[in-house]
Every structure is written in C-alpha cells, then in structure tokens.
Structure 1
Amino acid sequence: MTDTSTPPSAESAEASAAPTATEEASEAKKSESVASDSDLFRQSEIAADYVEGLLDILDYDGDIDELVSAGRPMVEVVGGRLQPLVGQRGATLEALQELTRLAIFRATGSPSRLLLDIGGYRAARRKELAAVARNAVEKVKEHGDPVRLEAMSAFERKCVHDVVNAIPGVQSESEGVEPNRRIVVRAAD
C-alpha cells in the first residue's frame, strides 16, 4: 500500500496560506452583498424598461424613477392622467406590479420583490393605513377586544403590521386566504 498523503511540513505550509472557514464565509458575504445590490439595481432597470414599454403601448406619459430602497428594487411612475393605471383600491397597480415581476423573472431567472408605485398611490395609501392601524390599536387598548380589519393586499397588510408592531402592548396577525386575507389586532400576550 502506497502512502499518498502530503508530508506534514507541506500540510502546515498549505494551512497557513489557505484562508480559514471564517475568512471564506466573510468574503462570500461581501461578494453576495455586492452582487445582490447590483442584482437589485439590474431588476429595477429591467422593471423600468418594461413599464416604459407599457406606457408607450397605452400612450400614457410619465417619468420613471428606478431605485433600490430597503433592500428591494423599486420603480416609481410620476405624471398626470395615471389614475387608470392604479385602479380601484390599487387593483390595477397590483396587477401591473405582478406583470413587471414576471418580466424580471423572465430576464433574470430569479423572483423579484419589486415594488411598483404609480402616481404616488402607495405613499398616500401607506399614510391612510397608518391611521387605520393606530385607530385599531386605540380600540383594542380601550375595549380589550380584538379588532378585525377589512381584507387587504399583501402591501397593505405589511404597512399595518409595521405600525402595529411598533406600538407596545398590542400585536397583529394575518388570517384568512387571499383575496380575503385580513389583519387582526389584539392585546399582546
């Protein structure tokens, strides 16, 4: 039987030259964050191009801003006459967002958490939902009974959860199945 192992002195030299597992993990995280940031910017560019094509087809005018915020790609469309692209309670906007996410998936092969906003709808809706959440919290604190809110989209539920979870003494959870998924606000356990 022949010994094919490396002599101990060679192993020691290789081990001191090779990075440790911790160093390798640190380098991998650095390259991942750089790659993910560039991936997010790429996703917002793809989305902006797709939305621009839709606006051209529909003969709508709008300025398109592409950005990355809070770790997700975003596209904002600003201009006049955009309300039909938002639809009733943002239904058309949600559909356009899903189509844009599909365009990103088709181009990149990976799912996207793109957030599309048209005419500032999401920013305005976020303010309305914060008021709804605070009102529900007040009712829970005053009466002690859980408060069930109306059915909401995932975006709307996230906005409400963020506000409720920032207030001590209350908690929120989602219940039900789409499209009738809603939030229940109750006293914290």
Structure 2
Amino acid sequence: MTNSTQDSAVDRTSQLEEEGEVAADYLEELLDIADLDGDIDIDVRHGRAAVEILAEDEGSLKHLVGAGGEVLEALQDLTRLAVQVKTGERSRLMLDVAGFRAQRRTELAEVAERAVARVKESGTEVALEPLNAFERKVVHDVVAAAGLASDSRGVEPHRYVVVQPAAE
C-alpha cells in the first residue's frame, strides 16, 4: 500500500468512526426521550459505520424494532439523516437493535441456501417473498457465494429476489 492509499484508508476509517459517534449521540438522546435503557456499541464493518443498541432486558427494546423490523428501518433512516446533517456527508451506517439484524441475517442465509438448493436441483429460477434492501443484499451475497445468479424485481415495498441458475 502506498502512503497516499494508507492515508486515504485511515481518513475513511476515521470518517466512519465519526459517523458512529454522531449516530450514538443521536440515539442516546432518543433513548433518553423514550425513557429506555440501552448501551450503544460502535464499530466499523464492511466499509460502513455499524451501531447497535443493546440492553440487558432486550425485550425492553422491542418497540425500536417493530414487527418485521419496520421501526428499525425507520430509525436507521432517521439516524442516517442526523449523521448527514451533522457531517454534511451521506451516511450508509447500519443500525441494529438487540441483535435483530444479526438474527435476521442468519435466517435469510438459510432461506437463500434452500433456494440455491432448489435451483440447483430443478434448474429453474426461484422467486422469494418481498424483502427490504438489507434483506435482499444478504440473499444476493449468499447466492453469489454459491455460484448462482440473482436479481431483484418488483417495486418497493414488494421488491423481491429471484434466484437463477448460473449463466453458461
């Protein structure tokens, strides 16, 4: 790595750490307003700031996830906006609450692996249920790792992934 490349990587990491700090401040204020107890963990993963709200009683945070994670998605969007307002840069940070996304990632990987097996067995494409952008990305990654193809079809909020046989 050249010095300028190293400097660029260091600058990017410190920018992501700053995003995490701004997000943590925003979320701490939100937790105070909502009178919820929670700890905030900040990290940099996969080239993104990663922030997670944790609590000893994770059930106390269920309102921040919502059924199927829709409240979590909205909270992530609001947090990204708060970071953008403060830094002037568009944020791609990932927010998790009480391990919801981590658990969902595991579930989606299993769904994707079953779809891959069905496509390999039948040779025909398999369409999955509608998924949000985070969920589609997880599926696309699993499908690509298995050597098959996939694409997203439909229009939000009914966008879904189709797993296809590998291109010849």
Q: What TM bracket, shorter-length normalisation?
A: over 0.9
Report how far residue 28 of structure 1 moved: 3.6
Report how far residue 116 of structure 1 moved: 0.3
**TM, length-normalised to structure 1:** 0.83
- Structure-1 separation of matches of 2:162 and 2:93: 26
Report how far residue 27 of structure 1 moved: 4.2
**Equivalent residues, number:** 163
Deviation per residue, 1:73-103 (Å, 9 max, x gap)? 0111111211111011110000000000000
Aligned to 2:65: 86
The structure 1 segments of at least 4 consecutive aligned residues displaced by more than 6 Å after TM superposition are: none
The alignment yields a C-alpha RMSD, in angstroms, of 1.1
Question: Which protein has the larger Cα radius of gyration, Structure 1 or Structure 2?
Answer: 1
Report how far residue 124 of structure 1 moved: 0.3
Aligned to 2:155: 177
Aligned to 2:91: 112
- Structure-1 separation of matches of 2:9 and 2:123: 44
Report how far residue 31 of structure 1 moved: 2.4
2:44 equivalent to 1:65: no
2:155 partner SS: coil
- Structure-1 separation of matches of 2:40 and 2:145: 32
Aligned to 1:152: 131
Aligned to 2:74: 95
Aligned to 2:140: 161
**TM, length-normalised to structure 2:** 0.93
Identical aligned residues as a percent: 53
Letter in 1 for 2:40: I
2:131 partner SS: coil
Letter in 1 for 2:166: A
- Structure-2 separation of matches of 1:36 and 1:178: 31
Aligned to 2:102: 123
Aligned to 1:32: 8
- Structure-2 separation of matches of 1:103 and 1:121: 22
